[in-house]
Structure 1
Amino acid sequence: MTGLRDAGATELDVAARVVELVHQLAGPAAEAEAIVVRHDLALTRFANSFIHQNVAGSQVTVRLRVHVDGRTATGGGSLVDPDGLRALVGRTLAAARLCPPDPAWPGLTPPSAVHSNGLLDEATAYAEPADRADRVRAFVDAVGGLEAAGYCRTSYRSGAFANSAGQSAQGRTTEAAMDGIARTGGADGVARLCAGRLDEVDGTLLGVRAAAKARAAADPVELPPGRYEVVLEPAAVADLLQNLAWSGFNGKRYVERQSFARPGTAQFDPAVTLVDDPTGTLPFDLEGTPRRALTLVEAGTTRAVAHDRRSAAAAGTTSTGHGTPDGSTFGPVPSNLRLLGAPEGGPTGGAVDPATDGDPTGGPVPGAVVDADTAALVAPMTRGLLVSDFWYTRVLDPLSLVITGLTRNGVWLVEDGVPVRAVRNFRFTESYPRALGPGTVLGLGRRPVRQPDRTDGDWWEGPPLRLASWNFTGGASG
């Protein structure tokens, strides 16, 4: 791969050169947009309480979209030397000639200001393997002899955009994340955190949290299926947010009437406010549209869905800055979704132990399986379930967003405000909008905790959440 440094060019230089080549080869009437991203990703993995892999890579990708003679095509590559760029433009134009007409082409993003989010952290961008290994060592030491596994990663992105309508933009961003599991006797405890800076990731706090949950999850009992009141911890809340984003607040799904979302309608409990927050990502999308915070739900009322230029044109509105590589097939997705926490002293929040306030993981309450923020939600429960995490969730009905999935990494029976017994994993079948509907949110924590996505750059952030009912349909085996 020929990199930007080898070519002596910036990302913006390369993007502008690609657009210029399109005009040279296809004429000034051709429409073109190019985005160039350098991505440095470093990952330190551990298993059996030892680091077993440290990998790091740097890649430059160029993505081109052209619209010529009413036909649209895209192409991509990683060679940024003159021959590589010319080959990319040539094959993309050749593909356009073979594509069917595109009458729904929404046109290019016009010139508009793009403001940097200003969250680049140099120490994270250039973190050494030893910096990540220090977090792993702290996690392993903190689990107190339990088996530990997981990863610590750091990521840096530098990107630029240019199109033939005159729009240009550039930006840089960093991310750090840790995801670790502690295991004892077949019981797992998990702790995760995503941040813009590596120094915000504390392996000791995460290890203590994971170990406390693993020890408390031993010897689970089996409970009958049915509807239970629940407190969902931030890892489980992240799954709610991800599925709501992918299948609900997706502009393409909305235009095609495959989404539950009805802007202007009170579809959620008044405690629910959802915001897609691009802070920590590149400040523009794949189409060069500036990214700004987008309120999707405000105090229970659905306000918006995410759009790229194509879905926005179909809906008679404007792009919200959510263009993605899969936009034409899957649709635009708000991939940095935050459920706002309860205001301090608010009716849906609980008091937080001052000794742990400010700790981004909550900090384990001594002798308990929950952090202080979650404990305030568990305390009023007469009988219900505390759920750490969901996984393997799949959509059964997109219109009502009925999801089936499994619990994992710890479920506990709560009686009179105290987690008293570990419970075997459940399968559930639940409509996520119904579970968050009017009158269903009994409590909301104050402190959202950012959870890493499998793809760095995406994240889901929410506080613990107390819900009136969750439909568990059977054991994990069926």
Structure 2
Amino acid sequence: MTVERDVASQVVELVARLAGPGPQAEVLVTRAELALTRFANSAIHQNVAETQVEVRLRVHVAGRTAAGSANVTTADGLRALVERVLAAARVGPLDPAWPGLTPATPMADSPQWDTATGYAGPDDRATLVRAFVDAAGGLTTAGYCRTALRATGFANSAGHAVQGYAAEAAMDGIARAGGADGVARQCVDRLADLDGAELGRRAAAKARAAADPVELAPGRYPVVLEPAAVADLLHNLAWYGFNGKRYAERQSFVEPGVAQFDRAVTLVDDPLAGIGLPFDLEGTPARALTLVDAGTTTAVVHDRRSAAEWGVESTGHAWIDSATAGPMPRNLRLVSSGTAGRAPATGGPARGPVAGGVDPLAGAVTDADTAALVSRMERGLLVSDLWYTRVLEPKSLVITGLTRNGVWLVEQGQVTRAVRDLRFTESYPRALGPGAVREVGRRAFRQPDRHDGAWWEAPSLRLAAWNFTGGASG
């Protein structure tokens, strides 16, 4: 079924009829089936779903470029959109940097997507929420489960026309014990692969382990960052570092060809690793792109405009906001390329049995991969999550933010105390720089972004130091 592509082609033909020969036009038609089940106080309080069709048109006429969008596909609605965008182009400024259209290009088929995920109903999501709540063992829970399907058609006046589909499911929830929260989240291609019970158990175990935290003096501490925290690193590296527009404006730390990261770090953007579209929003084929190879920065991402500025080819990273925010990798995964700096084990498992009952601190570590990293840290902090992160200095990517959902002191490879949340100020590239990465976890967990279609695949990381500058209140 190529309904969206057919509509896109119709709009291209309409531009030619109304504007005559010469204009360049590209059209993107997206049908999004988005659904969200929210829960709070351990009960579902909202089910929302929407089906939205958006037609986005960009034209280049007589050296001028204009764009617009509409949420209609009727003949009158499409004609009104074309007339409005052509009128805007006639009075707009000259655009000497116009990169032209994507030529007709062979395209890989869209990956097979799961219909049960794309068209999941509220009962399907409610089953997962119930499993999460039950597994939390009486703790108060909150969060969401979402499903999404995107059907996208693209056509331009250069004769390029393609169709693609993408589906995903995600769950993000917390459990609360007293004033302490524990979190668990996951993003998958198939709703059937979400395990609500496992996520609920993990969140509850972390909440119980985070009870009765102690104050810790600010300073530079070795850390183990769990995947949720590492996802924040990847998001900011993508947005501010490997962004072709920011690189062109000299606002990025990136220096291709330079060993800017520890040799244990490899970063790959791969929109087709999950169920993603086989092309970007300019019709350029999507592909895996290595941005950091064993510590050496190798590339930034481009749309057609930033690529033309540098005399290179687009990497297929145009997205809805790339004209203003710049092209950025939105499916970034951190891959271990070695064990540089790995220290010998210092004390066995992260937490041993406690006489007289179950030690709640054992729940601070909820997977074997993170436990192995913790066991090799002599003294430092285990950090579950980062939030409210804001850039202080873009060029060196110095960021300030807070920990949340659990921080613990580690001594001799064992979790010994829960710690109150801390504020940090840290350069993300420096924290991952040469000699700074002690160990990369073997297993990566896909973390959902705030918007469907973007995700970050992150393992746990053991780092030499992280700069904590105060408590959460200052």
**Interval containing the TM-score (normalised by the shorter chain):** over 0.9
Equivalent in the alignment of 2:302: 307
Specify whether residues 284 and 350 from structure 1 end up closer, same or farther in structure 2 by C-alpha distance, changes over 3 A only: farther
Q: 2:423 corresponds to which letter in structure 1?
A: R
Q: For residue 342 of structure 1, report the CA deviation from its aligned partner.
A: 5.9
Q: 1:201 corresponds to which letter in structure 2?
A: L
Q: For residue 81 of structure 1, report the CA deviation from its aligned partner.
A: 0.9
Q: 1:330 aligns with which of 325, 329, 347?
A: 325
CA deviations on 1:427-473 (whole Å, 9 max, x unpaired) are: 11100000000001001111100000000110011100000000000
Q: How does 1:134-149 map to 2 (within 5 A)?
A: 134-149=127-142
Moved more, 212-221 or 116-125: 116-125
Q: For residue 9 of structure 1, report the CA deviation from its aligned partner.
A: 7.7
Structure 1 CA distance, aligned partners of 2:121 and 2:413?
45
Q: How does 1:129-278 map to 2 (within 5 A)?
A: 129-278=122-271
CA deviations on 1:122-149 (whole Å, 9 max, x unpaired) are: 1111212111111000000000000000
Structure 2 CA distance, aligned partners of 1:141 and 1:46?
13
CA contact (8 A) 1:341 1:462 kept: no
Equivalent in the alignment of 1:4: none
**Residue 14 of structure 1 pairs with residue 10 of structure 2:** no
Equivalent in the alignment of 2:284: 289
Q: For residue 113 of structure 1, report the CA deviation from its aligned partner.
A: 1.4
Q: For residue 315 of structure 1, report the CA deviation from its aligned partner.
A: 1.3
Equivalent in the alignment of 2:396: 400
Specify whether residues 9 and 460 from structure 1 end up closer, same or farther in structure 2 by C-alpha distance, changes over 3 A only: closer
CA contact (8 A) 1:186 1:218 kept: yes
Q: For residue 119 of structure 1, report the CA deviation from its aligned partner.
A: 3.6
Structure 2 CA distance, aligned partners of 1:247 and 1:12?
33
CA contact (8 A) 1:119 1:174 kept: no
Moved more, 115-124 or 215-224: 115-124
Look up the SS of the partner of 2:364 in the other structure. Answer: coil
CA deviations on 1:127-183 (whole Å, 9 max, x unpaired) are: 121111110000000000000000001101111100001111111111000000000
**Residue 472 of structure 1 pairs with residue 465 of structure 2:** no
Runs of 4+ in 1 over 4 A off after TM superposition: 345-351
CA deviations on 1:307-348 (whole Å, 9 max, x unpaired) are: 0000011111110001122222110010110001467x9985
Equivalent in the alignment of 1:427: 423
Look up the SS of the partner of 1:173 in the other structure. Answer: strand
Q: For residue 350 of structure 1, report the CA deviation from its aligned partner.
A: 11
Q: How does 1:30-179 map to 2 (within 5 A)?
A: 30-179=23-172
Structure 2 CA distance, aligned partners of 1:349 and 1:238?
24
Equivalent in the alignment of 2:355: none
**TM-score when normalising by structure 1:** 0.93
Specify whether residues 211 and 179 from structure 1 end up closer, same or farther in structure 2 by C-alpha distance, changes over 3 A only: same
**Residue 388 of structure 1 pairs with residue 384 of structure 2:** yes
CA deviations on 1:49-105 (whole Å, 9 max, x unpaired) are: 000011111111110000001000001011101101000100001111121100000
Q: 1:56 corresponds to which letter in structure 2?
A: A
Q: 1:446 aligns with which of 434, 437, 442?
A: 442
**TM-score when normalising by structure 2:** 0.94
Look up the SS of the partner of 1:240 in the other structure. Answer: helix
Structure 2 CA distance, aligned partners of 1:257 and 1:471?
26
CA contact (8 A) 1:237 1:465 kept: yes
Note the aligned Cα RMSD (angstroms): 1.8
Q: For residue 116 of structure 1, report the CA deviation from its aligned partner.
A: 2.6
Look up the SS of the partner of 1:340 in the other structure. Answer: strand
CA contact (8 A) 1:341 1:447 kept: no
Specify whether residues 114 and 350 from structure 1 end up closer, same or farther in structure 2 by C-alpha distance, changes over 3 A only: farther
Specify whether residues 445 and 394 from structure 1 end up closer, same or farther in structure 2 by C-alpha distance, changes over 3 A only: same
Q: 2:416 corresponds to which letter in structure 1?
A: V
Specify whether residues 396 and 423 from structure 1 end up closer, same or farther in structure 2 by C-alpha distance, changes over 3 A only: same
Structure 2 CA distance, aligned partners of 1:349 and 1:100?
59
Equivalent in the alignment of 1:319: 314
* Stretches of structure 1 lacking an aligned partner (at least 5 in a row): 1-7, 354-364
**Residue 24 of structure 1 pairs with residue 20 of structure 2:** no
Structure 1 CA distance, aligned partners of 2:181 and 2:109?
40
Q: 2:431 corresponds to which letter in structure 1?
A: A
Structure 1 CA distance, aligned partners of 2:252 and 2:264?
22
Look up the SS of the partner of 1:87 in the other structure. Answer: helix
Specify whether residues 112 and 212 from structure 1 end up closer, same or farther in structure 2 by C-alpha distance, changes over 3 A only: same
CA contact (8 A) 1:277 1:337 kept: yes
Equivalent in the alignment of 1:5: none
Structure 2 CA distance, aligned partners of 1:413 and 1:24?
69
Structure 1 CA distance, aligned partners of 2:149 and 2:292?
31
Structure 1 CA distance, aligned partners of 2:361 and 2:377?
20
Structure 1 CA distance, aligned partners of 2:312 and 2:344?
40
CA contact (8 A) 2:265 2:337 kept: no
